[in-house]
Copies of this chain bind each other. A is one copy, B any other.
Amino acid sequence: MKDNIIYAFNPRFGKKLKDKVEGKNPLFLCVIATTETAKIPGISAAGQNPDLIDYTPSADVELLYYSHCRCFHGIPVTPDGVPTPALITLSALKLSLIPFLVVNGGLKVDPKTPYIDVGGSPGNDITTGHAVKDPGEIIERAKLVGKNLAENHDYLIIGESIPGGTTTALAVMLALGIDAKGKVSSSMSVNPHSLKTETANEGLRSMGIAFGELQDDPVKAIESVGDPMQAATVGLVLGVDGVVPIFLAGGTQMAAVAALLYSMSPKSLQQAGIATTRWIVEDKTSDIRSIVHRSSGIPVIAANLNFAYSKHRGLKAYEQGVVKEGVGAGGAALAAILKSRNKITPIVLERKIEEEYTQLVEGNK
């Protein structure tokens, strides 16, 4: 029998974290934002065209709340028709009855759902060197949210949806002096590393920032070449301040957030881990272990989902390296496994995901 959970990095601390939260009651937060960076041709698979990119994060959280999207017809898919990982998140949250809230980091199009506003604006193209407006204010407001939500919840899981987010992740890591070139993940099976590196470097160059120059000024790194999701998530975690465990639910984007946090307040990460999918930790086109090893050092834990035997082409594509992660899919799946003390297994989740897929994508709804 295969394991439900993969301890992909720092397993000793990862297992401790798991023991702490197993059977407990978390809150899932999904931080959504947009960055114009996603519209650089070739950067992101989210949305079939640049305009749809603006709608993707909002459509994702509409899916979580209503089991259908309201801001457009259908659901977010890659150009090949592979569905958003929100489908995984939705299934995991439904099965485990884990409550969730949305945090709006800064969006072109607001979702037709309730959301927590932290004063953010949509992110600019990082090649301008002015990526995020007033990240300090976003961080301060998000801190107040994290502080208050930590009070009555056993732990928090924080996911994200921001097309283009791995490029901004790369850029802030370069600013912090973490050589993540060729190591960030992609929602496409062919990872456009050189385009991402060029884009990140252009952003740094436009502000005259050398590699590692902002290692002691992570807020400036976000402001120059980051994205609003990073600002909001950093704020939430700083607000929790290590008081309860936190899972940063995502791939290399969350590794970048952890790196930012490590440079601001290692204490805020004292009970933190990255929760992701098997597709991220087994990905040959990226290297989350190497990134985390060079930066925050926090554990990386993955939900052992496998769509190889799915009857749906759109889900099988996950095994070819399409999509991989997003909307906190891995973290939500992990939390469902942990809250249920392994009653909700990856197999149970896969069945539920197939069911939701059938209803949504094949239009039986």
Contact = CB atoms under 8 A, between A and B. Distances in A.
A151 B94 CA distance: 13
A65 B118 CA distance: 13
Contacts of A361: none
Interface of A: 25, 27, 65, 97-101, 104, 110, 112-119, 141-142, 144-145, 147-149, 151-154
B65 A101 contact: no
Contact of A115 (B112, B117, B154): B117
Contacts of A114: 116-119, 141-142, 144-145
Contact of A153 (B116, B117, B142, B152): B152
* Identical copies of this chain, number: 2
Contact of A152 (B25, B113, B144, B145): B25
Given A99-B151, A101-B148, A117 B119 contact: no
B152 A27 contact: yes
What 4 pairs between A and B have smallest CB-CB spacing?
A99-B151, A99-B148, A114-B141, A114-B145
Interface SS of chain A: mixed
A151 B25 contact: yes
A337 to B, nearest CB: 18
Contact of A117 (B98, B117, B151): B117
A83 to B, nearest CB: 22
A104 B117 contact: yes
A361 to B, nearest CB: 24
Contacts of A27: 151-152
A327 to B, nearest CB: 16
Q: Which residue, of A114, A147, A149, has the highest number of chain B Cβ atoms within 10 A? A: A114
